[in-house]
Chains A and B, each alone.
Chain A
C-alpha cells in the first residue's frame, strides 16, 4: 500500500500539450478513477505514473519516493491493459508467473502464488490454456491475476472493461471492487464510462483537455458539480440545461425562459448575472403530486418522446427551448402529444454561468 503524489505534471506529444499541470494526491489504499472524454489525457497520466511515458515537468512520488527517473520495472507497479496484453505464446500459468520469474522467484513460491491468484479469480481450470483459447472475460481475469501475484504497491487499470460486453462488464466491475476491498491496494483506474467511475471510485478525478476539472467523492461531485461540463458528464441520462434571463421581481429574482415561463430563483448573496443556466437531473423532474413544497416549480408540457427502459421511463419534453428528459416511474407512461404536468424541487437545481460554465452557489 502506497500513496501517490503528483505535482505540476506536464506532458506534450509534439505540438499537443496533453497534460497541463496535474496536481493530484492519492492516499494509500484508495480507489481512484480517472475519468473524462477521450483525448482528455487520462490514459497519458496513467502511463506516466507507470513509467511508460517520460515525465517532462513536475514530479511523481510513490510511497514518498520520486519515481521520475525510475524505469517501469523498478517502480513495483502492476498494470492491466485495455487489450489485456497477455503474452500470446505463453499459457495462462506462465502468463501469470511471468513477472515472478522475471524477478527470479523460486519455483515453489511461483507455483503457490499463481495457484492462489487463480483460485481467487476462478481460473484454476484454465492454467494450461493459451490466451487465444480464452473468452474475453477469462482473458481479463488472467490479466488481473498477473497483476495480483506480483503484490505490487500500486495497481493501474487502463480501461480494462471496455472490450467486454455489457453483462460481463457489470460482473467484472463487481469483481474489481471486491478485489480492491480484499487486497486493500492503492488502485488507479482509467475509464471514459461514468457509470464505472461512479460505482468503483472512492475518489473520482474528472479530466478534460489535460486539466483536472474536479475531483472528490463520486456523490459529492454528482450532487455539487463545479461546472457545467462536470454536471453533464456524470449521470445518465445527462443533466438537463435550461437557459434563461434573470429578471427582478420585487425583492427576489426570477428566471425568464424563452417560452415565457418564469422560474423563481433562490436568494443569493452575490446577486445574479444577466442570464443563467439552470441544471436539473432527469430523476428530479417528477410527475407532479398533490403535495407541494415551497421550493416546488410546476410545468405543464407536451410529451415529445417516450423511452421505456423497464424499471424507469424517459420522457422528452421541451422547456425553454431546451430538449429535457424527465425520468419517471414506468407506471406513469403517457403518449407523445399528451400533456404532462411535471415539477421539480429548486433545491435540486444547480445554476451555472452561461459563459464560463462555472457553478453559481
Chain B
C-alpha cells in the first residue's frame, strides 16, 4: 500500500525530468552543424570585412587599419566601374538571348519526335563542360590560323577572311557572347522544357478550342504557368552572368587592354596580380552589397517569395 503511491510519484518525476531538458536539448542537437556553418560561412565573411578596413598587400607586412580609405578609393577607381559596365553589358545581352533561345528550343522539343531523348542529351552537353574548358575550346575554334570558324567564313565569303576574334575590339564581345550563350542556353532549355511539359495540356487545348492563337495562349496560359520556374532560372543565370570569369579569362583574359574585363576578372587581378588584398576585400564587399540588393529586389519583383 505504501509502495504504490511512491512509485507513482517517481514516475511523474522521471517524466518531468525527461521533458524538462527537451526544450534546450534540440538546440544542443543542432549546435554542431550551426557552428560548422558559421565557421565556413560567416567567419570568412567577417574576416574579409575586417581585412577590407586594413591596408594589407601581399608585398609587405603592414596590417595597420586604414579606416574607410579602401572604400573611398572604390569610387575613384574608373577601371572598377568600367568592369561593372562590361559585366552588365554581357549580362543584359546574354541573359535575354539565352532565355529566348532556351524557350524556343524547349518549345520545339515538346512534341514527340524520333530521337528526342538523344537530341536532348546532346544539347545539354555544353552545360556539363567546365566553363574554362569551354572557353579554351572556343579560343581554338576562333583561332585566326587554325580555327575552323574563320575557315568556314572564308569558304562562305569566297576569299580568305582573317578575323582576330579575341583581339579585334569589335569582335571580342561577340566571341564572348557566342561562347557564353552556346554554353548556357541548354541550361535554360532544360529547365524550361521541364516547366513547359508540366503545363496542363487540357488548358492549352481548351484555349485552342476557345479560338486563341499561339501568342494569346502563350502569354495568357503558358507563361503564367511556367513563370515561377522561369523566374528562378533567370535569377540563377543572372547572378551567374554577373560573376562571369572563366570563359572570358580563357578567351581574352579581359583584353584587349581592359576592354572585356568584368568585375570578377578585375577583382582577381587586384587580388592576385596587384596583390592589393585589402582593396580586393573592399571590392568584394561592394559586389556582395550590390548583388544582394539586386537579388532581393528581383525576388520581390518576380513574386518568388510568395
- Please give the residue numbers on chain A whose beta carbons come within 8 Å of chain B beta carbons, in ascending order: 50-52, 71-73, 75, 77-79, 81-83, 85, 87-90, 98-99, 102-103, 146, 150
Q: A72-B208, A79-B209, A146-B206 are in contact. List 14 more A-B contacts (CB 8 A).
A: A50-B205, A52-B205, A75-B209, A78-B209, A81-B202, A81-B206, A82-B202, A88-B203, A88-B225, A89-B220, A89-B225, A98-B220, A102-B213, A103-B211
Is the CB–CB distance between B224 and A72 below 8 Å?
no
Is the CB–CB distance between A73 and B225 below 8 Å?
no
Which chain A positions have C-beta within 8 A of B210?
73, 78, 98-99, 102, 146, 150
Residue in A75, A85, A89 whose CB lies within 8 Å of B206: A85
Supply 30 A–B pairs (Cβ within 8 Å), ascending by A: A50-B205, A51-B209, A52-B205, A73-B208, A73-B211, A73-B212, A75-B209, A79-B205, A81-B202, A81-B205, A81-B206, A82-B202, A83-B200, A85-B200, A85-B202, A87-B203, A87-B207, A88-B203, A88-B224, A89-B220, A89-B225, A98-B212, A99-B209, A99-B212, A102-B207, A102-B213, A102-B216, A103-B211, A146-B210, A150-B211
Residue in B205, B213, B216 whose CB lies within 8 Å of A85: B205
**In the bound complex, CA of A51 to CA of B213 (Å):** 15
B221: interface (CB < 8 Å): yes
Which chain B positions have C-beta within 8 A of A146?
206, 210
**In the bound complex, CA of A51 to CA of B208 (Å):** 10
Task: Number of B interface residues at 8 Å Cβ cutoff, please give it.
Answer: 17
B interface SS class: helix
Is the CB–CB distance between A73 and B216 below 8 Å?
no
- Please give the residue numbers on chain B whose beta carbons come within 8 Å of chain A beta carbons, in ascending order: 200, 202-203, 205-213, 216, 220-221, 224-225
Which chain B positions have C-beta within 8 A of A99?
209-212
- Known contacts A87-B220, A90-B220, A102-B216; is-contact A72 B209 (Cβ 8 Å): yes
**In the bound complex, CA of A51 to CA of B209 (Å):** 8
Which chain B positions have C-beta within 8 A of A83?
200, 202
> Nearest Cβ distance between residue B200 and chain A, in whole angstroms?
7
Residue in B200, B209, B220 whose CB lies within 8 Å of A73: B209
Which chain B positions have C-beta within 8 A of A103?
211
Which chain B positions have C-beta within 8 A of A85?
200, 202-203, 205-206
Residue in B205, B208, B224 whose CB lies within 8 Å of A89: B224
Which chain A positions have C-beta within 8 A of B224?
88-89
**In the bound complex, CA of A90 to CA of B205 (Å):** 16
From A97, which residue of chain B is reached at the shortest CB distance? Answer: B210
**In the bound complex, CA of A120 to CA of B235 (Å):** 46
**In the bound complex, CA of A72 to CA of B211 (Å):** 8
Which chain A positions have C-beta within 8 A of B216?
102
Which chain B positions have C-beta within 8 A of A71?
208
Which 4 pairs between the two chains have the least Cβ-Cβ distance? A99-B210, A85-B206, A89-B224, A85-B202
Which chain B positions have C-beta within 8 A of A77?
209
From A50, which residue of chain B is reached at the shortest CB distance? Answer: B209
Q: Which of A75, A87, A88 has the most CB of B within 10 A?
A: A87
Which chain A positions have C-beta within 8 A of B200?
83, 85
**In the bound complex, CA of A301 to CA of B224 (Å):** 65
Which chain A positions have C-beta within 8 A of B205?
50, 52, 72, 79, 81, 85
